[in-house]
Structure 1
Amino acid sequence: MTKLEIVTERLTLRLIKSSDLNSVHELHSFPEVDAYNTLGIPTNISETNKIVQGWIADQQQSEIENYIFAIEHTSNGEFIGLFGFKLGNKKYKRAEIWYKIHPKFWKKGFATEAVKAILDFGFETLKLHRIEAGCSVHNIGSIKVLEKVGMIREGRGREVLPLKSGWSDCFEYSILEMDERK
């Protein structure tokens, strides 16, 4: 498996591993995390394990296209959440991001710090041209994070997210390599 860590002032983002299973399962089991998540709450830990093992298999390819990072507190290694970074067709030099943060770490700037680190990784290390994100129009927390880092709202997809509460519209965001990152 590839060893990759992105370290910021407070966070370490490292590729997911089997020992993260319980933390990932707990994160996916919070109704407030699930509110804007299309995955849904897992019925048991084996369901979560299938997802985690799929992510690990993706990261064992010679060229990773789907990075899944565990977000940890640098000072104590505490699990804060997950960050996904999926590369698109190489010709277009773009990727899509997503993240999930444990509720006890909400409103502390961790999501913003993680997004900034991933944008730097995408543009500076992988030499991408464009990074995209989408979120439910009702997910005020993620909207604030995406806009705070300099992502531009490009549009609104109508009823594209199958959430537990019903179909939700999705705001579509992007940032280009030449755009100002905040």
Structure 2
Amino acid sequence: MELHTSRLKLRLIEFSDLEAIHQLHSIPEVDEFNTLGIPENIEQTATLIESWLLANEQQEVTSYTFAIETISNKVFIGLLGLKLWPKKNRRAEVWYKLQPDHWGKGYATEAVNSILDFGFNKLNLHRIQAGCAVANIGSIKVLEKVGMIKEGKCRQVLLLKSGWSDNYEYAILETDYELLKK
């Protein structure tokens, strides 16, 4: 499965993405607001990828994990995930990570818009949400640009390398999305 925007191709990850994903997860700037932590070795990343591949391939998919590539030069620039709740809830959570040299260029906004379209128009979701550390200004801007609404703040819910962090909760409903696309 692939999703396309004017500048990006989002394709389901493959085990052959191991090196690129490991490199992305090993960058301190990428890890700053992430609870996963920097992997100790490539085997730890391989185990993570195997769990993502399993979730992508189950009879009832529980999550989609996409590699983000630029169309112009076919370079891996990040990851985008959509974690699904049980089907009856029609709900999912989006997450993303980009290589720092691709920050501030609109790629995250473009990728998240694509996954919102996929979630609402192909998966028939009712709600897509995202969490974001309160100091993660870049992600806050992305979530607000795509039309997500800040619903609240969870206190000290993220254990980051720097210590406990508060987390903003964002969401967009299918009705919000329909209004934005008019």
TM-score, structure 1 length as denominator? 0.96
CA distance in structure 1 between the aligned counterparts of 2:63 and 2:175, rounded to whole angstroms: 24
CA distance in structure 1 between the aligned counterparts of 2:63 and 2:118, rounded to whole angstroms: 14
CA distance in structure 2 between the aligned counterparts of 1:9 and 1:164, rounded to whole angstroms: 36
- Are 1:181 and 2:153 an aligned pair? no
Report the counterpart of residue 116 of structure 1 in structure 2. Answer: 113
Report the counterpart of residue 103 of structure 1 in structure 2. Answer: 100
2:159 corresponds to which of 133, 149, 162: 162
TM-score, structure 2 length as denominator? 0.96
**What amino acid does structure 2 have at the position aligned with 1:45?**
I
CA distance in structure 1 between the aligned counterparts of 2:86 and 2:148, rounded to whole angstroms: 21
CA distance in structure 1 between the aligned counterparts of 2:102 and 2:62, rounded to whole angstroms: 28
Report the counterpart of residue 22 of structure 2 in structure 1. Answer: 25
Report sequence identity in percent: 61
Output one character per residue of 1:121-151: Cα deviation in whole Å (capped at 9) or x when no partner.
Answer: 0000011110000000000000000001100
Secondary structure of the corresponding residue to residue 180 of structure 2: coil
- Are 1:136 and 2:115 an aligned pair? no
**What amino acid does structure 2 have at the position aligned with 1:181?**
L
Gaps of 5+ in 1: none
Query: Shift of residue 178 of structure 1?
Result: 0.8
Output one character per residue of 1:49-69: Cα deviation in whole Å (capped at 9) or x when no partner.
Answer: 110111111112112111110
CA distance in structure 2 between the aligned counterparts of 1:111 and 1:181, rounded to whole angstroms: 18
**What amino acid does structure 2 have at the position aligned with 1:97?**
V
Task: Map 1:6-155 onto structure 2 (within 5 A).
Answer: 6-155=3-152
**What amino acid does structure 1 have at the position aligned with 2:132?**
C
CA distance in structure 2 between the aligned counterparts of 1:134 and 1:66, rounded to whole angstroms: 16
Query: Shift of residue 76 of structure 1?
Result: 1.9
Output one character per residue of 1:92-141: Cα deviation in whole Å (capped at 9) or x when no partner.
Answer: 21100000000010000000000000000000001111000000000000
> Quick check: which one's helix share is greater?
2
How many pairs align? 179
CA distance in structure 2 between the aligned counterparts of 1:158 and 1:89, rounded to whole angstroms: 26
Secondary structure of the corresponding residue to residue 71 of structure 1: strand
CA distance in structure 1 between the aligned counterparts of 2:36 and 2:180, rounded to whole angstroms: 30
Gaps of 5+ in 2: none
Output one character per residue of 1:23-52: Cα deviation in whole Å (capped at 9) or x when no partner.
Answer: 000100110000000000001111111101
**What amino acid does structure 1 have at the position aligned with 2:52?**
W
